[in-house]
A and B are shown apart, each in its own frame.
Chain A
Amino acid sequence: MADLVHVDRAVARRILGGDEAAFRELFDRFFPRLYRFVLARLGGDPDSAQDIVQQTFCNAIERLDTYRGEAALYTWFCQICRNVLADHFRRKGRGATRVVLLEDQPNARAILESLTAPAADQPERGVWREQVQRIVEATLDSLPGHYGEVLEWKYVDGLSVKEIAGRLDLGMKAAESLLTRARESFRDAIVELVGAREDLSAPIVRQLD
């Protein structure tokens, strides 16, 4: 990949060249994802989340000419965001609410593998459901392009393939193919997180039914 010029590099170049539309498009794409990324790590403090996302954008724009396209631009923004978060926690010291997420821990895989779904009548079910919800949310946010939106339209809003095609101005076949790729990307991302074993998702699903 090192010899390939990532598509995001062209986006970064357009922004550096003063292309307002490219900047607006990137902001609209990244802002909600970064906001959720930060909010989850701050334990739901919206004021601090806003400050940190704002600082992330300012830092990223300032350093954008150092972006070389080795990773996706969103991944690069997330890394800057982690640095801003680290500064925030250093400044606040013990007073800050710091949530260490499963996917941020070095042994995330082991933890996820040991995650056993509680029975429906147990009080931990609520907490466990929140964990699943947050992991799914983070996974959707990490998907490229409009994959996250397409999956939500299909499975949360219940849109038909025809309706998705209409919303994106695509043909039926293109929309079907897009949905298939989005599903595959989501599954791959979850599988990567839980350790290359699709069957780990199965207990989660059984509990949800």
Chain B
Amino acid sequence: MDKSSDIVESLIRTAGRRADPPEEAYRQVFATASAAFREKTARRRERQWLLGAAAAAALVLAIALMLQWTPPSAQRGELARVERIIGGAEQATGDVWQALGKSRSSLGTGARIRTQADGRVALALSGGESLRLAADTEVMLDAPGRLYVQRGTIYVDSGPRPAASRLEIVTPGGTARDLGTQFELQVAGAALRLRVREGIVAIDRGGRSLTGNAGEQLAFDDLGSVSREAIATDSPAWQWAESIAPTPDMDGKPAAMLISWVARETGRHLRYESPIVEQRAATVILYGNIRHLAPLAALEAMLATTDLECVLQGDTMEIRTRDPIPPEP
């Protein structure tokens, strides 16, 4: 033990245990403070309801005006769109929860979404990010570029975008800033678990900032301790996020587009057998629908109609041809 530790120990030992307040004082103050808390929250709910009613009235007026004049940006105020829902999921803008709207429905500021024990949801955020909610998760769309995670597990895929457009995720246990990446964040009270699949994520917690890099898992307990361990980018731990991935429309698109999407969604490195195969993938056009298929299943189904095939080797996905491509004349 060093000198400063000795001093700390001596001071605390000499001062002794801090005196606890009288039990009676605790009970009386708690009763009064609880009443103040309940009164405050009830008044806020009432005010929010009134504001909601006023907003609704304003919306009716706005719609009436829109019938006569269409504004330049009809999507203003939209923070997300529902991309896909599996199982039970609900949304609320006030205190009333109702079933989450169907695919493509719009969500604005203050919208809260929660999934039930069997539910998963994929949202497309207005900044271009894909946000996915695992089961038993609750989030609120706070503002453009910022969301609040109350509990549960989310997955974000923002693509390799510049840091200027980063997403901020506020949780009871710290704030995550996405620096262009794919990652999962699990929130349980003040405890956090961050799994980074690609890129970098910064966590600001209690005035300190830590970063997680691709292939790392950081666990923050509710007292502030942090532990790091490795997690493979193709680990089965990511499968829940793959299962709710919004499938892109591939009808009439080149196979290379689907291949890149599947590689990214499954956290695998993409390798073509040869430049000729890569060129082939860029020119083969796909037809059909892959809706609601998991990424690898979608790839298998689509490539079955072509002369290309996918071979998985560890964390690498190699694209080959079934038959040798004849040399160009």
Using a CB–CB cutoff of 8 Å, the interface residues on chain A facing chain B are 1, 4-7, 9-11, 13-18, 20, 22-23, 27, 31-32, 35-36, 39, 46, 49-50, 53-54, 57-58, 61-62, 64-65, 129, 132-133, 136-137, 140-141, 144-146, 148, 151-152, 155-157, 168, 170, 173-174, 177-178, 181, 183, 186-187, 190, 198, 201-202, 204-205, 208-209
Contacts and interface: CB of A to CB of B under 8 A. Distances in A.
B10 A205 contact: yes
Contact of A183 (B5, B10, B32, B174): B5
B13 A156 contact: yes
B33 A35 contact: no
B223 A178 contact: yes
B103 to A, nearest CB: 29
Given A10-B171, A57-B29, A58-B32, A18 B227 contact: no
8 contacts: A7-B206, A16-B44, A27-B30, A32-B20, A32-B21, A137-B19, A178-B224, A209-B10
B204 interface: yes
B17 interface: yes
A7 B7 CA distance: 31
Contacts of A20: 37
A141 B30 CA distance: 19
Given A4-B204, A46-B22, A133 B14 contact: yes
A4 B13 CA distance: 37
Contact of B11 (A170, A173, A205): A205
Contacts of A10: 148, 170-172
B25 interface: yes
Contact of A50 (B9, B13, B29): B29
Interface residues of A, dominant DSSP: helix
Contacts of A178: 223-225
Contacts of B207: 1, 4, 6
B170 A5 contact: yes
B221 A170 contact: yes
Contacts of A32: 18, 20-21
Contacts of B34: 23, 27
B25 A46 contact: yes
A161 to B, nearest CB: 13
A36 B21 CA distance: 7
A105 B75 CA distance: 56
Nearest to B227: A174
Contacts of B175: 4-5, 7
Interface in B149-189: 150, 168, 170-175
B170 A156 contact: no
Given A57-B36, A201-B7, A144 B221 contact: no
Nearest to B25: A50
Contacts of A151: 8, 12
Nearest to A47: B25
Given A10-B171, A57-B36, A198 B4 contact: yes
B67 interface: no
Given A1-B207, A155-B9, A7 B33 contact: no
B16 A133 contact: yes
Given A23-B34, A27-B30, A155-B9, A65 B44 contact: yes
Given A11-B172, A31-B29, A201 B11 contact: yes
Nearest to A186: B8
Given A156-B16, A174-B225, A54 B32 contact: yes
Interface in B124-157: 148, 150
B5 to A, nearest CB: 6
B28 interface: yes
Contacts of A198: 3-4, 7
Contacts of B19: 36, 137
Contacts of A4: 175, 204, 207
Contacts of A140: 12, 15, 18
B102 interface: no
A4 B148 CA distance: 14
Contacts of A148: 18
Contacts of A39: 21
Most buried by B among A13, A61, A140: A61
B25, B172, B221, B223 — which one has the most chain A CB atoms within 10 A of its CB?
B223
Given A13-B148, A183-B4, 4 more contacts: A7-B206, A18-B41, A54-B29, A186-B12
B6 interface: yes
